[in-house]
Amino acid sequence: MSPVMSSPPSAGAYSQRGSRSGRPVVLDYIAASHGVRSWLFTVDHKRIGLLYLMSITAAFFLGGAFAVAVRVELLTPQGDVFQSETYNKMFTMHGIVMLFFFLIPSIPAVLGNFFVPIMVGARDMAFPRLNLLSWYLYIVGASFTSWAVIDGGVDTGWTFYTPYSSSFSNSHVIAVASGIFVLGFSSILTAINIIVTVHRMRAPGMTWLRLPLFVWAMYGTSIIQVLGTPVLAITILLLGAERLLRVGIFDPAIGGDPLLFQHLFWFYSHPAVYIMVLPAMGVVSEIISTFSRKRIFGYRFIAGSSIAIAVLGFLVWGHHMFVSGQSMYGALVFSVLSYLVAVPSAVKVFNWTMTLHKGAICFDTPMLYALGFIGFFLIGGLTGLFLAAVGLDVHVHDTYFVVAHFHYIMVGGALMGYLGGLHYWWPKMTGRMYPEWLGKFAAFTIFVGFNLTFFPQFVLGYLGMPRRYHVYPEEFQVLNVMSTAGASVLGFGYLVPMAYLLHSLRYGPKAEADPWKADGLEWRTMSPPPVENFLEQPIVTGGPDESTPPASEPGTTPQLGGAVV
Amino acid sequence: MADSDKKKPDRKEAGRSGDASEPPAAQRKKRARPIIPASAAAEEEPPRNIRVRAERPPAPEAEVPSRRAAASVTEEAPRRRKPQPERSAANVAEDVAGTHHGPSMTIYFGIFGLLLVLTGVTVAAAFVDLGPFSAPVAVAIAAVKATVVVLYFMHVKYASRLIGLYAASGFLFLAILLGITMSEVSARAPAGPIDPLAPAGRVAPPPTAGHANPPSGLRPAPADDEP
Amino acid sequence: MSEATSPVSRSGQGHGPPSLRGGHGGGAGPSMLFHHFETMVQQKAAVELGMWLFLAQEVMFFGGLFMAYVYYRNKFHDAFVHASKHLDVTLGTVNTVVLIGSSLTMALAVDAAQKGKRDRTRNLVVATMVLGLVFMGIKAYEYHHKWVEGLIPGAGFSGEATLGHGSHIFFILYFMMTGLHALHMIIGEGLMIMLLVWNKQGKVTGEYPSRCHAMGLYWHFVDIVWIWLFPMLYLVSRH
């Protein structure tokens, strides 16, 4: 990367207080130092964010490869590509890699790591070395799992249900579980860092009600990560103890109780869904506001609903256990509590829609992803309500209806939010613009491919096709072929951004400090930011919820609200 | 287990007198790194003034955004303010003030004595037949001990509400895990396929919302404590 | 880049003129202010909150085991009563007193560090470490005793017949809970060695006693875990 001169691309967009005389050249964080060591031992939250970006991209394409295997196998009703055991490993590894190694660290560890400190006006995370440690823990966890994948994989399903995982499976349960155990602490460290940064590192004037909605969402996510992840860790420890020592903890044949495993597992793993989708909601809140050229509607409600989702998410785990043998009383309570989560979720969708209302909407690439998110999240959320109803859940439990539902939330929701955020902040992270037409093309391809892949699965599930089987009756083939065709389109759609984003690193046009004419502190510093994020101490005088007078120079789009520096 | 909701009245006083006990060296250090040249002259102010000067974001550490905070925030005129030598220090000054300030020696040793006495009581109680109350008594004593350690040894009584909130959060969420799971367990059918459970068919009351007492999860046990 | 967080060195481009940013005023010893904080107040507050968040995480970590304990105590109540009688109350009580004593010395060490008394801090930390070692010695003796009695699950466990169905779970939980607790104590002892080194360098009692404070919080948490484990494991219906 070539050094970027201190003089910002647009003086108006970059109106730091005070004079910058005496420091003619300011290197950005990428150009500030060179060499592999400067990256592997960095404590700069921005560089760590990029390390995470590279790692999880690798994980994404690994998980994607398993998805391809699954979809290829399901092209025909016979099991003609894989043995049953191999197929079990394929969908298990797809789930584990995508969930634990891609989705959970995706937005928090990449975009959160990179932008939360900048958005609150800090120089770095509160604990930079812990931040680096968290990346190394991720790598250690990923190494365990990669070794297991190379050496034969794991076949328990991503949920590791006992007693299959503890007493029967012959695959690499311990290695993968250890990987997830280590990974959990990586996730916890990032979350602690974000919470402390939000509490303790805010710039003067950055009050709670001026925090960007992305920061609110990340704060809620981090609470879940800190308080939920350790329970998964201890569950894995108990599972490992049973598997290694052959002592009865969860296996009823030797005196344990598998329901306890499910309680402990879902106490983390249901809130984990919100670890994935809450940050995406934060990203979407930012994008919708920017590209509607409007102040976000109902700022406080969106912020509050992030926290509400984080807390309510801890009360509903039992809806994964409706057919597991828990008490009917428990099922009813969990069912009712699950409906409660719909309230803050609907509040968000309503407020996004109201923000769009009468806005001057620009259909740039990030906006396309955000609009896609809203549609997908709506479908995924509403089918979630079906599944929260005990009676219907008993009918469609463990069918493709569930598979389609959570893919609409996780791929249609979390991944679309992640891609939207990546495009939105790419100019800031790298200082380069990506080709807009290719971006739009990819977003459109992904939208079409996604729907073609997963909408037929709702129908399949409702008709009764169970998940996790690679042999199915003839009459399901048409829908399965549609789904596989969609997956091909979807896979192509994901390769396109990979290509043009990499290409833009070298050949993309240089980005301005504020290419979207957006609000927020991250756009008030140069692209890419300097090592300590700001050249001068930012003083915040407005927030997304405050109608400050237009801060931009005449001739540009009027800005409503936003941090004015 | 510890919950720290009893300490709130004391917080303000603790915070107010917080900086007094700090060693002078630390006071000087605090101001040692101004970032705005204009205010370099104001460097040697005693830290007590940090709080006074911070008329702006009133209590940004308030965990829940309150209308009061919002109102005063929007009305402020930041340009009138002097450039601040601190960045977010003022945001946290109030929070931290208490942390340099612990209990007195008397309190430390008093708490130690109390913990020893309670240990004795809980051992003695275990050897007495209290019927269904033996587990609740043990839980209550342990809760008092843990709370006392959190409040005094860990200085939560002298720290900010935020610290108290996060100190309680782990126990609160553990209470959710225990409370909901055990209420589900206690409502299982008597001859269920998986778990033929002792308290037959008894439907437990639903977990009371906001009941921050983790030990409640322990209570189903003592019902059939008697051999 | 790794030196960027070291207290003294600074990267070139920060806020404000370097001359002012570099000046640390009077005061003895190296400044402990890290590069990304503005003031010591802010740094201390961040460290304190970070430690508390870590402890909240720890509560949930042990919490999974507490959940398992409550669940199985409810399910196998009689076995838990009988199995608990195989633990030595006297040793458990002595250990409780030892650990509470170490908590007191740690609290006093934090107090001394905050008041800038370096020698007193050192002595009290050493006392805490000694009490911690006494605790672990007694614990090791108890483990050995269980081994002799054949009460180690997975290694010729003899309790299932004598103590009733489900007693193995009591001992699994006993070993996992006390083992995890002991692991935390071992880590704590290691951290205290580091604390002693820092104390010798004057990095604990000066302007920045937060390391000692954080260490204290950790050690008190270990104490609290034991305060719960003691009645749960040793005192199940002793009458």
d(CA B140, CA B147): 10
Q: At what angle do helices A365-388 and A416-430 cross, to 10 degrees?
A: 150
pLDDT tens digits, B150-177: 999 999 999 999 999 999 999 999 999 9
CA distance A32 to C150: 62
pLDDT category of residue C8 using cuts at 50, 70 and 90: very low
How many beta-carbon pairs under 8 angstroms link A with B?
106
Among the residue ranges A411-415, B133-137, C179-183, the one predicted with the least confidence is B133-137
pLDDT per residue as tens digits for the range A67-83: 999 999 999 999 889 99
Question: Is the confidence at residue A34, as pLDDT, over 80?
Answer: yes
Asked if residue A555 has pLDDT above 60, the reply is no
What does the pLDDT look like over C103-126, one tens digit per residue? 999 999 999 998 889 999 999 999
Write down the pLDDT at residue B130.
Answer: 85
pLDDT at B23 over 50: no
From B59, B88, B54, B53, select the one nearest B71 (Cα to Cα). Answer: B59
Taking residue B227's Cβ as centre, other Cβ atoms within 10 Å add up to 9
Residues of A in contact with B83 (CB under 8 A): 539
Q: Is A57 part of the contact surface with chain B (CB cutoff 8 Å)? A: no
CA A237/CA A178 separation, integer angstroms: 9
Q: How far apart are CA C153 and CA C143, in angstroms?
A: 12
**Which residues in chain A have their CB less than 8 angstroms from residue C214's CB?**
none
pLDDT at B227: 33
Q: Are A428 and A501 in contact (CB under 8 A)?
A: no
CB A316 within 8 A of CB A344: no
Of the partner residues B73, B87, B170, the one whose CB lies closest to the CB of residue A203: B87
Residue A562 pLDDT more than 60?
no
Q: What is the mean pLDDT of residues A308-329?
A: 93
Given this model, what pLDDT does residue C15 score?
Answer: 41
Residues of chain A positioned with their CB less than 8 A from the CB of B70:
207, 209
A205 close contact with B: CB closer than 8 A? yes
C74, C115, C230 member nearest B185 (Cβ): C74
Q: Is the pLDDT of residue A227 over 90?
A: yes
Structure confidence at residue C36 as a pLDDT band (50, 70, 90): confident
Compute the count of residue pairs across chains B and C with CB atoms less than 8 Å apart: 236
Model pLDDT for residues C136-162, shown as the tens digit of each residue = 999 999 999 988 888 888 767 877 777
- What is the 3-class SS of A184-226, one letter each residue? HHHHHHHHHHHHHHHHHCCCCCCCHHHCCHHHHHHHHHHHHHH
Tokens of C138: 């007694």
Q: What are phi and psi of B99, to 5 degrees?
A: -75, -20
Q: What is the pLDDT of residues A103-146, one digit of tens each?
A: 999 999 999 999 999 999 999 999 999 999 999 999 999 999 99
Question: Is residue A420 within 8 Å of A364, Cβ to Cβ?
Answer: no
Peptide bond into A163 cis (omega under 30): yes
Average pLDDT over residues C73-95: 92
Indicate the residue of B152, B174, B185 with minimum beta-carbon distance to C59: B174
Return phi, psi of residue A536, to 5°. Answer: -125, 160
What are the tens digits of pLDDT across the range A352-376?
999 999 999 999 999 999 999 999 9
Taking only residues 53 to 72 of chain B, the set having a beta carbon closer than 8 angstroms to any beta carbon of chain A reads 56-57, 60-62, 65, 69-70
Q: What is the dihedral of CA C102, C103, C107, C108, to 10 degrees?
A: -30
Give the neighbours of chain C: at least 3 Cβ pairs within 8 Å. Answer: A, B
C-chain residues near B36 (CB < 8 A): 16
Measured between beta carbons, the chain A residues lying within 8 angstroms of B180 are: 315, 318, 330, 333
Identify the burial level of A21 via C-beta atoms within 10 angstroms of its C-beta, where 0-12 means exposed, 13-18 middle and 19 or more buried. Answer: exposed
**Whether the complex's predicted ipTM surpasses the cut of 0.85:** yes
In degrees, to the nearest 5, what angle opens at C-alpha A305 toward C-alphas A299 and A310? 140
Distance from CA of A53 to the nearest CA of C (A): 19
Which among B119, B130, B173, B195 is the top mutation candidate for probing chain C, defined by the most C β-carbons within 10 Å of its own β-carbon? B119
More confident residue, A508 or C4: A508
Residues with Cβ within 8 Å of C57's Cβ and at least 6 positions away in sequence, in order, are A188, A192, A226, A227, A229, A230, B170
What kind and span of H or E run contains A479?
Answer: helix A477-507
Joined tokens for residue C166: 């489900």
The b-or-e profile of A257-271 (16+ CB within 10 A means b, else e) is bbbbbbbbbbbbbbb
State the greatest distance between any 2 C-alpha atoms of chain B, in Å, as a whole number. 79
Contact in structure between A408 and A380 (CB atoms under 8 Å): yes
pLDDT over threshold 90, residue C24: no
A527 closest CA partner among A504, A496, A550: A504
Q: Which candidate, A126, A167, A128, A102, places its Cα nearest to that of A44?
A: A128
Instruction: Please give the pLDDT value at position A325.
Output: 87
What percent of chain C lies above the pLDDT cut of 70?
87
Residues of B in contact with A18 (CB under 8 A): 36
Give the pLDDT score at A347. Answer: 96
A94 Cβ contact list (under 8 Å, min separation 6): A63, A66, A67, A69, A70
Provide the pLDDT for residue A229: 96
Q: Which two tokens stand for residue B204?
A: 């437990």
The amino acid at residue A190 is: T
**How far apart are the CA of C48 and the nearest CA of chain A, in angstroms?**
9
Residue B59 is encoded by which pair of tokens? Answer: 């209590």
Residue of A nearest to B58 (CA): A207
Element at A287 (helix H, strand E): helix A258-292
Helix (H, G, I), strand (E, B) or coil at A466: strand
Q: Which residue of C has its CA nearest to B116?
A: C97
Angle between helix axes A213-245 and A258-292 (nearest 10 degrees) is 160
Which pLDDT score is estimated for B26?
38
Share of chain A above pLDDT 70, in %: 92
Vertex A437 angle, CA A431 and A442, to 5°: 95
**Does A441 score more than 90 pLDDT?**
yes
Q: Residue B90: pLDDT above 70?
A: no
| Distance between CA atoms of residues A226 and A214, nearest Å | 18
| Average pLDDT over every residue of A174-182 | 95
- Mind listing the pLDDT tens digit for each residue in B101-125? 678 899 999 999 999 999 999 999 9
In the structure encoding, which two tokens stand for residue C221, read together? 């948490």
Q: Across the interface, do A195 and C4 touch by the CB < 8 Å criterion? A: no
Say if A270 is an interface residue toward chain B (CB within 8 Å). Answer: no
- Residues of A with Cβ-Cβ distance to B164 under 8 angstroms: none
Instruction: Please identify which residue in the block is written with the tokens 């003031």.
Output: C39
Quick one: which of B165, B185, B109, C171 has its CA closest to A227?
Answer: B165
CB distance A237–C176 less than 8 Å?
Answer: yes
Counted across chains A and C, CB pairs separated by less than 8 A come out at: 147
Percent of chain B beyond pLDDT 90? 30
CA distance C98 to A104: 42
Q: What tokens does C96 get?
A: 């409780």
State the pLDDT at residue B190.
62
- Residue whose token pair is 């719909």: A342
**Out of A199, A258, A259, closest to residue B61 by CB:** A199
| C48 and C213 Cβ atoms separated by less than 8 Å | yes
Of A43, A231, A257, the CB nearest to C64: A231
Helix or strand (DSSP H, E) at A373: helix A365-388
Averaged pLDDT of chain B = 59
User: C231, B139: Cβ pair inside 8 Å?
Assistant: yes
- The C-alpha angle C168, C172, C173, rounded to 5 degrees, equals 120
Question: Which of A461, A421, A459, A458 is CA-nearest to residue A443?
Answer: A421
* Average pLDDT, integer, range A480-505: 96
Average pLDDT of the residues of chain C: 85
Distance CA A43, CA A37 (A): 11
Asked if B170 lies within 8 A of A200 by C-beta distance, the reply is: no
A77/chain B closest Cα distance in angstroms? 35
C-alpha–C-alpha distance, residues A400 and A465, integer Å? 6
Assess contact for A439 and A500: CB atoms under 8 A.
Answer: yes
- Whether residue B180 lies within 8 A of chain A, CB to CB, comes out as yes
User: Are A257 and C46 a contacting pair at CB < 8 A?
Assistant: no
In DSSP notation, A377-414 reads HHHHHHHHHHHHSHHHHHHHTTBHHHHHHHHHHIIIII
Q: Which residue has the higher pLDDT, A247 or C124?
A: C124
Instruction: Number of helices (H) and strands (E) in chain B: give both, helices first.
Output: 8, 0
Q: Which residue has the tokens 């046990």?
A: B221
Asked if residue A403 lies in contact with residue A457, where contact means CB atoms within 8 angstroms, the answer is yes
Cα A316 to Cα A384: distance, rounded to the nearest angstrom: 12
Report CA torsion sign: C208, B7, C192, C97. positive
List pLDDT tens digits, range B41-77.
Answer: 333 333 333 333 333 333 344 333 333 333 333 333 3
pLDDT exceeds 70 at position A426? yes
Residue B35 touches chain C, beta carbons under 8 Å: yes
Cβ within 8 Å, pair C28-B33: no
| Residues 6+ away with beta carbon under 8 Å from C132 | C99, C102, C185, C188, C189, C192
B31 with C115: Cβ contact below 8 A: no
Structure confidence at residue B101 (pLDDT): 64
Q: What is the DSSP letter of C194?
A: H
The residue assigned the tokens 């005693």 is B46
Q: For C207-232, how does the pLDDT look when each residue is reduced to its tens digit (9 = 90+)? A: 888 999 999 999 999 999 999 999 99
CB A260 to CB C168 under 8 A? no
Which tokens go with A145?
């799992």
Average pLDDT estimate for A296-312: 95
Q: HEC states along A302-328?
A: HHHHHHHHHHHHHHCHHHHCCCCCCCH
d(CA B37, CA B39): 5
Tokens at A325, concatenated: 């043998």
pLDDT at A258: 93
Average model confidence (pLDDT) across chain A: 90
Residues 125-164 of B with CB under 8 A from C: 126-129, 134, 138-139, 141-142, 145-146, 149-150, 152-155, 159, 162-163
Shortest alpha-carbon distance between residue B3 and chain C (Å):
12
The residue among B75, B165, B180, B211 with the most chain A CBs within 10 A of its CB, best to mutate, is: B180
